[in-house]
Amino acid sequence: MTNVNAIFYKQLKDTLKNPASMTQFIIFPLLAFVLNILMNTERMAEEMMEILPSALPYGADLEAIREGMFAGMMTNMPNMTTMQATVFAGMGLIPIVAGIIAEDIETKSLRFLSMAGIRPIAYLAGIAGVIMFISLFTSVAFSLIAGFTGIDFVIFTAAMMSGVAGSIVLGATFGIMTKNQQASAGITMPIALILGFGPVMAQMHSGVARFMRFTYTQQLNIIADNLTVGGIDTPLWQSFSIMWANIAVLGLLFVFVFRMKWSVE
């Protein structure tokens, strides 16, 4: 526990002093807030209804048309807040975590920790604790911007933190595999883009949805749809099970790669 605390406080101090890393935790909820205002579906439906009456036949039920239009927009338009939350959990964190570990490798800190007898799980717990701690504030911000309350607030925040955990372990694995920060950025960005924007593309293409359904970011998106739109076939327990199965597999991969790296170091 002492080793974990030491790594946690060291990394927390370094992360808070790094503007590039801290920006990732702020820019996504800020963008979600702005898009939520600009793309308000109810306001957009009202604006369209101001134009449509002149093109509709006499006696048309305007209220029924308005309600149908609003329901259609709610169902078919992606929720800007939950979409940005998925992008944050999938794309924003993987390069950060990989960069942290790649920096430790580049500066020989990893070798020092190995010689000091720090175990892989302790190292990961210290790094993950910092990212989870900061991401909790970002996840709560997303839940508030999305308008979740009560049990929905708890469910979405828990789903966000599960997605964050998956990205932490995946980013840590990529970080261990690289020799420096530049190499880690080159490896992680393509994967981060797929995990971050894959769920967005899945809403537009069924083939992408079938491929992405086994990823933790797609399940985060499904949970968000369950809470906002409803009528989703996948139950919440199944989505959370898939997310944590992802985390378990990635955790085993991290331990395997980490031990190989330390044996070389």
Q: Which residues contact 115 (CB under 8 A, 6 or more apart)?
A: none
Please state the rounded mean pLDDT for residues 209-236: 84
Contact 96, 21 (CB under 8 A): yes
CA 262/CA 125 separation, integer angstroms: 17
- Condensed to tens digits (0 to 9), the pLDDT of residues 8-49 reads 888 888 888 888 888 889 999 999 888 887 766 565 556 555
Q: Is the distance from CB of 170 to CB of 187 less than 8 angstroms? A: no
pTM of the model: 0.82
Residue 221 near residue 199 (C-beta atoms within 8 A):
yes
**What is the share, in percent, of the chain residues with pLDDT greater than 90?**
24
- Where in the chain are the domains? 2-39+77-264
pLDDT digit string (tens) for 81-137? 888 888 898 888 999 999 888 888 787 776 776 666 677 778 888 889 999 999 999
Structure tokens at 217: 């970011």
Q: Quickly count: other Cβ atoms within 10 Å of residue 85's Cβ.
A: 29
Q: Decide which of 202 and 71 is more confident.
A: 202
